[in-house]
Structure 1
Amino acid sequence: MYFYIDESGQTGLELFDDNQPFLYYGVLSSEFNLDELSLPHVEKLRNNLGVERLHAAELGNGRLVTIVDDLVALKEKYNLSFDFYRITKKDHAALCFFDQVFDQGNNPAVPWNAYWTPLRYVLVSKVSLLFDEVLLKKSWKARIAINKNFAEKELVEVCQKLLSRVHRLPDERSIEIITDALNWAIKNPSKIYYHASSKDERLQISPNLIGFQSVMHGIATRLENTKSEATKVVVDRQAEFNKAQEWISDLYRNTKKLDEPAGFGPGMPAMDLRHIPSVRIECTPGTESAGLEIVDIYIWIFKRQMEGKPLATELYPLIRGQANGMFNEVSLQALEERWGKWFKELPEPTPEQIGKGKDLLRIDEQRRKKALLI
């Protein structure tokens, strides 16, 4: 299998650009080497349009309509599949705050089950309700700061502001957990590790890398489902994030030898790296890859359709023809929809299970309350 990966809506570490609230990744996959086999077709389309490269944003609806039949023919000839990923940037800032401050490994005031089980998705929803955009910007600025003293000072101020709002929540248990966790973070900011230690680490917590992790897992799923191997993984070359993309793909590739998926806690998704590509990603200029030119068009079309922007009806065959495509979104709404359904489908616990649960909760509460005294 051959994979071609591009992105759209890239604003780097700036998450609050209202003109580009989402980051998108698109992955085009085929059993054929598109860079070689589709190049004559792509060159013909370039010549017909009078352009040096097929770039959807420049072509727009009008000119793309003139080549849509050719694009459909390419899809059918090379059995193209398209997978699409979206990250809501502002939600990424909220999730980063939660994952650092409420990580039970960092913050002992957090109950074990509130972080290492699906209850974390209930808690992250409650914490996110306490933010407004001003406070969210402040928390993100601190999270990507390299200056440790600045980051800890800002973190304390963010936590204090959140504490002043926690009474707005409707249930006492959430108020108790969040209050305790924030108070502990205020007293122990250096143990939260809220700053970035280097420029490289800043890139590793960017939405670009979170999205790219989704891309790698999506490729692994497609390889598993098709019982195939990756021959080439082509990523659009761009200066800022290729190094981080290579880092995470190499990390996954080097740890894929694990015999079993790594679990994070009861009910939580497992990390399964067994089908991650064995080949290294190839960061290639878009001007040197026909596959990247094609995926750019797919991203533009799907992005406009998702955002409700004007899209020529003649282009819809490319969307309807992707019934086997995967879509994944990183956002608070997506988490609530996914895990809300999971909680609704849980069976009623037995009296024995309730008793065991209370015993475990009592033990963890004793540990947690001790931490609050330190």
Structure 2
Amino acid sequence: MSIVAYIDESGHSGADLYDVHQPILTYAAVWLEEYQATVLADKLAKLRKRHHVQLREIKGAKLMKTAGGQRLVRDALEAVSAAATPISIVAMQKAYMAAGVVVDDCTDYVYNDAFDERWGWDPLIREPLIEKILRVSDPQALMRVWQLRGGDDGAAVAQAYGSFLFGLSLSLDDELAARARQMQRTNFKQLWSAVQGARSMGSDYSPNLSAFNALLHGMDEQAACLRVPAVTLVHDAQQQFQALFTRVWTLTSQAHPATYRFPNGNILRFPTDRLKSLAFAESGAHVGIQLADVVAAATRVAIEEHAGGTPDRSVPYLPALRDLLRSPLACGIFPFAIGTDSWKYDVLAFLLDV
């Protein structure tokens, strides 16, 4: 069976992880055989005409802003469900990355002898600390650390970290305060040298990269579950991340066989050998990319409205989205959430209505 998984994202906001309008990043893949792509292209053309949507190609974020667009989104989601085709979806709490990077940087035993190697891989000790930092931190202070870390002034990064960790050391949470005092022992000069080295190789922290990497590994597991031997990946043309994503796909697909089992039950297997190729294409030429964009946007908006307590929309797209996400073809792997434990549990319970 020849199958293509079309990929797109919704919610990219660059370095601004606290974008109040788009705090969530989602990646979606819609898997289609050739005949399904033809059928859905015809269906989508009819939906655009029925709902009087004049866009040259459908864009999920724009459609979600109008009643007519929301109706088209609902009907498009129902069409994908009716096609009985696999989908994959990753949702990421973007601010989580900023707090996670603080923990990565300041608990790494290479730069801080107050911590051991376990802090580099064990989510059972890392995740509670990340969640506490995210919960108590001043968003502006945390964002300042994140933004300066992406710059070129190592001294400014060290100063920002010093101020931020000092603030955490004054926390009324004694455990957090104690951890912050340990984190203050980080050798920031050594850390900054490593950051620059990683950046020179095109490798640095990015919500998009984290979500895309999770999507790749999950899709490889999904392909194994569905007994699909080969999946071709086609991602929406993306100049900013194309080279990086290609490098990540190459590394994961050609890695030596290995299996990593984490204390929280997560399993990471290499190589991702069922994902046979990765290409980038303009969304206007592929209905699959447009549908992936719709799935990603509908999921993102649904999560953001749930978190903000926004009243239900007049167009009930959520039942159609939930039906799609609950498909057995997701193999229990997707939807996948990246964020604090409390956020992940809340989001997954909401999306799956459990």
- Whether these two folds match at TM > 0.5 is yes
Q: Which residue of 2 is the match for residue 158 of structure 1?
A: 161
Q: Which residue of 1 is the match for residue 352 of structure 2?
A: none
Give the structure-1-normalised TM-score. Answer: 0.75
Q: Relative contact order (C-alpha < 8 Å, sep 6+): which is higher?
A: 2
77, 84, 98: which one aligns with 1:79: 84
Query: 1:224-273 CA deviation, whole Å, 9 max, x = no partner?
Result: 21121233111111221122111111110111x41x40356x66744212
- Contact in 2 for aligned 1:263/1:269 (Cα 8 Å): yes
Q: CA deviation at 1:71?
A: 5.4
- Contact in 2 for aligned 1:220/1:273 (Cα 8 Å): no
Count of paired positions: 327
Indicate the percent of aligned positions where both proteins have the same amino acid. 19
Q: Which residue of 1 is the match for residue 350 of structure 2?
A: none
Give the structure-2-normalised TM-score. Answer: 0.79
Pair 1:7-2:9 in alignment = yes
Q: CA deviation at 1:190?
A: 2.1
Q: Which residue of 2 is the match for residue 366 of structure 1?
A: none
Pair 1:52-2:56 in alignment = yes
- Contact in 1 for aligned 2:91/2:300 (Cα 8 Å): no
131, 140, 155: which one aligns with 2:137: 131
- Contact in 2 for aligned 1:8/1:25 (Cα 8 Å): yes
Q: Which residue of 1 is the match for residue 231 of structure 2?
A: 231
For residues 80 and 24 of structure 2, the distance between their equivalents in structure 1, rounded to whole angstroms, comes to 28
Equivalence map 1:43-122=2 (5 Å)? 43-48=45-50, 49=52, 50-59=54-63, 60-65=66-71, 68-69=74-75, 72-76=78-82, 78-117=83-122, 118-122=124-128
Q: Which runs of 5+ in 2 are unaligned?
A: 347-354
Q: Which residue of 2 is the match for residue 372 of structure 1?
A: none
* 3-state SS of 1:85 partner: strand
Q: Which residue of 2 is the match for residue 344 of structure 1?
A: none
| Residues 315 and 180 (structure 1), Cα distance of their counterparts in 2 relative to 1, 3 Å cut | closer
* 3-state SS of 2:217 partner: helix
- Contact in 1 for aligned 2:78/2:320 (Cα 8 Å): yes
For residues 86 and 98 of structure 1, the distance between their equivalents in structure 2, rounded to whole angstroms, comes to 21
- Contact in 1 for aligned 2:108/2:116 (Cα 8 Å): no
Q: Which residue of 2 is the match for residue 327 of structure 1?
A: 335
- Contact in 2 for aligned 1:233/1:281 (Cα 8 Å): yes
| Residues 204 and 39 (structure 1), Cα distance of their counterparts in 2 relative to 1, 3 Å cut | farther
Q: CA deviation at 1:116?
A: 4.1
Q: CA deviation at 1:275?
A: 4.1
| Residues 169 and 263 (structure 1), Cα distance of their counterparts in 2 relative to 1, 3 Å cut | farther
Q: Which residue of 1 is the match for residue 148 of structure 2?
A: 142
Q: Which residue of 2 is the match for residue 189 of structure 1?
A: 188
Q: Which residue of 2 is the match for residue 213 of structure 1?
A: 213
| Residues 240 and 199 (structure 1), Cα distance of their counterparts in 2 relative to 1, 3 Å cut | farther
- Contact in 2 for aligned 1:65/1:312 (Cα 8 Å): no
Task: Look up the equivalent residue of 2:147 and give its one-letter code.
Answer: K
Q: Which runs of 5+ in 1 are unaligned?
A: 339-374
| Residues 200 and 298 (structure 1), Cα distance of their counterparts in 2 relative to 1, 3 Å cut | farther
For residues 204 and 151 of structure 1, the distance between their equivalents in structure 2, rounded to whole angstroms, comes to 15
Q: CA deviation at 1:287?
A: 0.7
Q: CA deviation at 1:131?
A: 2.8
| Residues 41 and 116 (structure 1), Cα distance of their counterparts in 2 relative to 1, 3 Å cut | closer
Task: Look up the equivalent residue of 1:82 and give its one-letter code.
Answer: I
